[in-house]
Structure 1
Amino acid sequence: MHPKERTKDGEEGLGAVPPARRIVLATFGSLGDLHPFIALAKELQARGHIPIIATSEFHRERIERQGIAFFPVRPDLLDIEAKPEFFRDLMDRKKGSEVVIRQVFMPSLRASYDDLREAVRGADLLVSHVVAFAGPLVAEATGIPWVSAVLSPISLLSNHDPSVPPQVPWFRHFRRLGPRFHGPLHSFARRAVRKWTEPVQQLRSELGLRPVADPLFEGGNSPTCMLVLFSRVIGEPQPDWPPQAVQTGFAFFDDVHATGMTAELKQFLSAGPPPIVFTLGSSAVMDAGTFYERSRAAAEQLDRRAIFLIGIDPRNRLREPLPKSMLALEYAPHSELFPRASAIVHQGGVGTTAQALRAGRPMLVVPWGHDQLDNAYRVCRLGVARTLARDKYTVRRAATALRHLLDEPTHITRASEVGRLVRAENGAASACLAIERALAVS
């Protein structure tokens, strides 16, 4: 903030309260993509600002329930929700990321640009998620000050701390070969995916903007401030991160007031030892396949209590009645449930991973696609988790992995240590300080 800002008493001085600013937060995707932006919005409100979340109509009710202003921006994810079969392609390990970009975001890029340009009318700052592809275009075309944000390490494509691409999980064996090896590989990867974002270059040309080398990576980074909204425990700052990167830690939000733990869940948790929690987040749950049936069998083999968060897809309902030691629910707030679990089995989305890390519980990660394989590798590297490929998730393998997690004190102790580190961070507050600094120099 500017050193000479007016204080509450109307006098200029150091450390003054910044004036209220209108700040548009643009994001797209699952709850793991939305919740950090809700966390930022609530913190900005607490600091006296006026946040507006610009995203799909699909998320309107969740946002407005928090007393946060909403502005609809296409694409409308309601269209995807109506086609559950499409999630199989969206979550495919090899082609899922390409499908998301080329079949969801690129066809509506011009509409997204028009909507977001209207959303920032009269605003003081734009904050955009890396997949809000219209964000950089709107910032350049309008001149509005702009802050970008990334949620997981794979978005930074570091040569010093290389990520594990979903298409080639065996790549983790080559991570230690160093920047001389990974630099050329990352250059090749950037060229390979450049065709996915060709519509961005075409729209830039129509708008009279200069082309960018890489709309998916560097081209999506603000030149003045980039928020790195994940904890140092899964990714330390690297020499090849952009100099404007500000690592804040995770920005947590869970809608506990509207979707808190039910009386049934509270009673279940109080009736016995901590259960294993099985969940697939808010995207992979739409393509669960046999995950829940195999999870139930694994829990039975271990003679452990279990909770299954199965979502709204009727295909995920467990076929046989559950014993009293098990409970299936559509959803429960992770921030309340995870700390009361013995272990957490999940898909590796960054939002679910962050909540499991904060809870301080060991985890078994079964990645579907996108950043999930890389997140799985990173929590395994931390010593708090094990991982199984989706096609290797059998009853026997799941039970064996969980037995190691639950019976060996090393994972439990380490998970508790990491949980304390994550809980000591305040990602939303740190991010809002960076946002206010960006406003002060704009």
Structure 2
Amino acid sequence: MAKHVLIATLGSFGDLHPYLAIAIGLKQRGHWVTLASSSMYREKVESEGIRFVAIPPQLDQLEHDRETRRKAMDSLDGTRYVLQELFLPPLAESYRILLAEARNADILFGSVLAFGLPLAAAKLRLPYIHSALQPAAVFSAFDPPLIPAMPFFPALPPAILRILFSGLHQLNRLLLKKVYQLAKQEGLPQNAVPRLFGHTSPHGNLMLFSRHFMAPKPDFPQPFTMCGFPFYDKLDGNQFSIDSDIESFFSAGDPPYVFTLGTSAVLDPGSFYEEAHTTVTRMKKRAIFLVGRTNFAHYQKLASDRILVSPYAPHSTLMPRAAVNIHQGGIGTTAQALRSGKPMVVVPFSHDQPDNARRCVQLGVGVSIPRKSFNTHLLEEALVAAGTKQELARSMGILIQSEDAVEAACEKIAATQPSPRKI
């Protein structure tokens, strides 16, 4: 039976693309889909024939306010800043929009950062399917995340971690005070508020990352479905082909190094591209720099016959043809790098990126350089070391390519039965 699914997500392309991939999959299977996100994504979503609803905040301010960009990518305080200063202030407005949309929906599904969605589900007694885009969102005591503010987690035994994680729920109340206040105003129970540290939903919990990146653990939220990485990285629904200048560059010589900072870290790159330019020039190597729209005019000066500078290109068209992929460790970029089957160098900035970098190193598919230590000497060493990891990277690429995350997610969502709603 066809269902109407309301999906909500907030953040960068790495937060949007997995849900857009699933939205497209649901539509292809005959379901009705509405995707709610920041207004800057309207054109991309609607180009795929998916109904779009804008919810605040307007994240395009990140592209225009340098101080906001810096604070959002701070290694220690960035996550708190994004939550409390960007996502939570317009919570009431976002909730009202989602509540109105949910009245016509059968199932609600999305990112934990779209805080109004589980509240709307509780208000209308609709099934809400939770999802985790990265291992760091699960908070397993058997495979704990590496968090910059609490770097000791991976060294602790599960018994100690379970105690610490239970204490983090008090921190949840502090960080999400406005969500708890809104829930109280709406007459909702406190458990309607999502947990930042290991949220769970009785209707289902989709792990939107590969089991080869993090294997299932005994304390995963129940019931859970291991889906894999849902992939989408088109500019929009009408254009996917690689730029002719990039294609010509690939054809002109040896496979280049591909440098990218995704769509969030690229807004606060620091000296990343200058250090990269110095390194590849000294090594007499070829490289492609993806520098973002905001920075493109500034970084065009780095272009040469050996270095191509571009604002954006789908990672899926570049990374499989690279010698080594150098990136920030965002989950969307990391997933594409893993699927490419090529070794990588990860330079994590903030949020879940240090944990993703650590997992790539543990898998033997790449090496990592802390952002604060990033320099030409360490980068050259890392590029040489990454070149020795070709075989493991290729094997991992085959495993990732064998998964069909969209099929797994759509199957679970379609099997969820709508519940009697409260109008």
* Structure 1 residue aligned with 2:110: 128
1:180 equivalent to 2:162? Answer no
- Does structure 1 conserve the Cα–Cα contact (< 8 Å) formed by 2:103 and 2:124? no
How many angstroms does 1:221 deviate by? 2.9
2:197 and 2:358 mapped to 1: Cα distance? 24
* Structure 1 residue aligned with 2:204: 225
Could you tell me which amino acid in structure 2 is paired with residue 253 of structure 1? Y
Which stretch of the first structure deviates more once superposed, 311-320 or 179-188? Answer: 311-320
- Does structure 1 conserve the Cα–Cα contact (< 8 Å) formed by 2:302 and 2:309? no
1:413 equivalent to 2:391? Answer yes
* Structure 2 residue aligned with 1:16: none
1:77 and 1:122 mapped to 2: Cα distance? 27
1:295 and 1:96 mapped to 2: Cα distance? 24
1:349 and 1:316 mapped to 2: Cα distance? 24
Tell me which of 396, 414, 431 is aligned to 2:409.
Answer: 431
SS of corresponding position for 2:239 = helix
Q: Which whole-Å deviations, capped at 9, do the CAs of 1:97-121 have from their partners, x for residues lacking one?
A: 0001101111111111001111222
Tell me which of 337, 345, 349 is aligned to 1:364.
Answer: 345
Aligned CA distance change for structure 1 residues 335 and 219 (closer, same or farther; 3 Å)? closer
Aligned CA distance change for structure 1 residues 113 and 153 (closer, same or farther; 3 Å)? same
1:235 and 1:261 mapped to 2: Cα distance? 31
* Structure 2 residue aligned with 1:253: 232
- Does structure 1 conserve the Cα–Cα contact (< 8 Å) formed by 2:261 and 2:328? yes
Could you tell me which amino acid in structure 1 is paired with residue 217 of structure 2? Q
* Structure 1 residue aligned with 2:334: 353
Runs of 5+ unmatched residues, structure 2: none
How many angstroms does 1:360 deviate by? 0.6
1:65 and 1:331 mapped to 2: Cα distance? 18
How many angstroms does 1:314 deviate by? 3.1
* Structure 2 residue aligned with 1:150: 132
How many angstroms does 1:315 deviate by? 7.4
Aligned CA distance change for structure 1 residues 428 and 382 (closer, same or farther; 3 Å)? same
How many angstroms does 1:190 deviate by? 3.5
Matches within 5 A, 1:39-50: 39-50=21-32
1:190 and 1:27 mapped to 2: Cα distance? 22
1:89 equivalent to 2:71? Answer yes
* Structure 2 residue aligned with 1:324: 305
Q: Which whole-Å deviations, capped at 9, do the CAs of 1:213-262 have from their partners, x for residues lacking one?
A: 97333684322111110001111111111121111001011216425311
Tell me which of 69, 74, 84 is aligned to 2:56.
Answer: 74
- Does structure 2 conserve the Cα–Cα contact (< 8 Å) formed by 1:261 and 1:333? yes
1:63 equivalent to 2:38? Answer no
SS of corresponding position for 1:246 = strand
SS of corresponding position for 2:58 = coil
How many angstroms does 1:186 deviate by? 2.2
How many angstroms does 1:151 deviate by? 0.1
Superposition TM-score, scaled by structure 2 size: 0.95
Aligned CA distance change for structure 1 residues 111 and 20 (closer, same or farther; 3 Å)? same
- Does structure 2 conserve the Cα–Cα contact (< 8 Å) formed by 1:302 and 1:403? no
1:54 equivalent to 2:32? Answer no
How many angstroms does 1:155 deviate by? 0.7
1:279 equivalent to 2:260? Answer yes
How many angstroms does 1:440 deviate by? 6.8
1:397 and 1:290 mapped to 2: Cα distance? 14
How many angstroms does 1:74 deviate by? 1.6
Aligned CA distance change for structure 1 residues 321 and 244 (closer, same or farther; 3 Å)? closer
Aligned length: 418
How many angstroms does 1:194 deviate by? 3.0
1:322 and 1:214 mapped to 2: Cα distance? 49
- Does structure 2 conserve the Cα–Cα contact (< 8 Å) formed by 1:363 and 1:384? yes
Aligned CA distance change for structure 1 residues 213 and 27 (closer, same or farther; 3 Å)? closer
Which stretch of the first structure deviates more once superposed, 77-86 or 89-98? Answer: 77-86
Tell me which of 231, 236, 242 is aligned to 2:221.
Answer: 242
SS of corresponding position for 1:345 = strand
How many angstroms does 1:196 deviate by? 0.9
Which stretch of the first structure deviates more once superposed, 93-102 or 141-150? Answer: 141-150
1:303 equivalent to 2:284? Answer yes
TM-align CA RMSD:
1.8
1:377 equivalent to 2:338? Answer no
- Does structure 1 conserve the Cα–Cα contact (< 8 Å) formed by 2:207 and 2:225? yes
Aligned CA distance change for structure 1 residues 178 and 145 (closer, same or farther; 3 Å)? same
- Does structure 2 conserve the Cα–Cα contact (< 8 Å) formed by 1:343 and 1:361? yes
1:197 and 1:263 mapped to 2: Cα distance? 47
Aligned CA distance change for structure 1 residues 41 and 309 (closer, same or farther; 3 Å)? same
SS of corresponding position for 1:148 = strand
- Does structure 1 conserve the Cα–Cα contact (< 8 Å) formed by 2:234 and 2:314? yes
Tell me which of 141, 151, 157 is aligned to 1:159.
Answer: 141
- Does structure 2 conserve the Cα–Cα contact (< 8 Å) formed by 1:310 and 1:317? no
How many angstroms does 1:166 deviate by? 2.4
2:162 and 2:198 mapped to 1: Cα distance? 18
Runs of 5+ unmatched residues, structure 1: 1-18
1:210 and 1:186 mapped to 2: Cα distance? 21
Q: Which whole-Å deviations, capped at 9, do the CAs of 1:16-37 have from their partners, x for residues lacking one?
A: xxx2221111100000000001
Matches within 5 A, 1:183-222: 183-212=162-191, 215-217=194-196, 220-222=199-201
How many angstroms does 1:148 deviate by? 1.3
- Does structure 2 conserve the Cα–Cα contact (< 8 Å) formed by 1:43 and 1:432? yes
1:141 equivalent to 2:141? Answer no
Superposition TM-score, scaled by structure 1 size: 0.91
1:213 and 1:136 mapped to 2: Cα distance? 6
1:269 and 1:315 mapped to 2: Cα distance? 20
2:270 and 2:253 mapped to 1: Cα distance? 29
1:55 and 1:262 mapped to 2: Cα distance? 28
1:258 and 1:84 mapped to 2: Cα distance? 30
Which stretch of the first structure deviates more once superposed, 371-380 or 256-265? Answer: 256-265
How many angstroms does 1:403 deviate by? 1.0
How many angstroms does 1:319 deviate by? 6.9
Aligned CA distance change for structure 1 residues 23 and 188 (closer, same or farther; 3 Å)? same
1:195 and 1:315 mapped to 2: Cα distance? 39
* Structure 2 residue aligned with 1:336: 317
Could you tell me which amino acid in structure 2 is paired with residue 111 of structure 1? E
